[in-house]
Amino acid sequence: MSDCVDKYGNCTKPSDDGFPSQCVGAWAEEKHTYVRRYVDATRGVRKRYLGPTKGGAAFVDLFAGPGRARLREAGRFVKGSPFLALDHTDAPFSKVILCDVAAINVAALKERTKAESSRVDIVEGDCNAVVDELVRLVPRYGLNTALIDPYALSQLSFETIRKLAAVTRMDLIIHFPTGDIKRNFHQNAGHLDRFLGTPDWRATVKVATDGHKLIDVLRSQLVTVGYTGENVRDIAVKNAKHTVMYHLVFASKNPLGDKIWDSVTKTTAGGQTGLGF
């Protein structure tokens, strides 16, 4: 771990507003671009669920961090993932549910989101341990999206995904840590079992370069909790050297969700066309 990052992934250098900020690479903005596009593109559908007699709509962020980030290379500060939902005003989410394991991040989130406190729920703890509490906060008959963006492979259990998937309408955007897996392939076996919810991958994936086959395993596992496997998409997020850092895996139970995700990922975050899936 870099000497400018603490155990929670936060920057040890001062933040511009006095609260903690997560230390991230430039590729984090690319990830946020795709999520922001999706939030915007689903506004028309979401409007059908908004209002006092409707089902509601929630954005669930399992690894919310402190709500602000510092780009290592540029040195500038940007808003964190909770604001991908909170800053959307056309069809605003009726609930924004945030979770983080670090008390210092939870305190920062409360301060940074206090203007929206009427629709924000913040839960402190390991999301795998408090997922039942998180699910209880989700509108059961609403239109919901979960951003699952762990800092490391070891931080997520497939059982957490399984419990989120029990909600009728829950789209998933999952950070699949391809780079972490490749760098620490042999040490990651136990974490992969937990992340994927099965040890079956061991029969077909023998070396780190077969890493994309692990996404196929995740795709199959998502079928077991109600998602259509052939429609589970993944896109690669790369660094400046064009090395794949991770994949974003998207899953929906509704063909319209798949169609919208395809539309927002036709071009890269930088505007290039021809993105492969």
Question: Among residues of the chain, what percentage have pLDDT more than 90?
Answer: 66
pLDDT digits (tens, 9 = 90+) for 82-110: 999 999 999 999 999 999 999 999 999 99
**Closest to 247 (Cα-Cα) out of 204, 202, 223, 216:** 216
CB 15 within 8 A of CB 68: yes
Residue 54 belongs to what H/E stretch? none
pLDDT digits (tens, 9 = 90+) for 165-207: 999 999 999 999 888 888 888 888 999 999 999 999 999 898 8
Residue 193 belongs to what H/E stretch? helix 189-196
CB 68 within 8 A of CB 19: yes
CB 53 within 8 A of CB 270: no
Q: How confident is the model at residue 273 (pLDDT cuts 50, 70, 90)?
A: low
Residues making up the chain, counted from first to last = 277
Fold (topology level) of 22-264: Rossmann fold (3.40.50)
Amino acid at 70: R
pLDDT digits (tens, 9 = 90+) for 108-133: 999 999 999 999 999 999 999 999 99
**What is the rounded CA–CA span in Å between residue 61 and residue 21?**
16
Query: Could you tell me the residue ranges of all domains in the chain?
Result: 22-264
**pLDDT at position 1 over 70:** no
Q: For residue 276, what pLDDT is reported? A: 45
Q: How confident is the model at residue 275 (pLDDT cuts 50, 70, 90)?
A: very low
pLDDT digits (tens, 9 = 90+) for 37-89: 999 999 999 999 999 889 999 999 999 999 999 888 777 899 999 999 999 99
**pLDDT at position 213 over 70:** yes
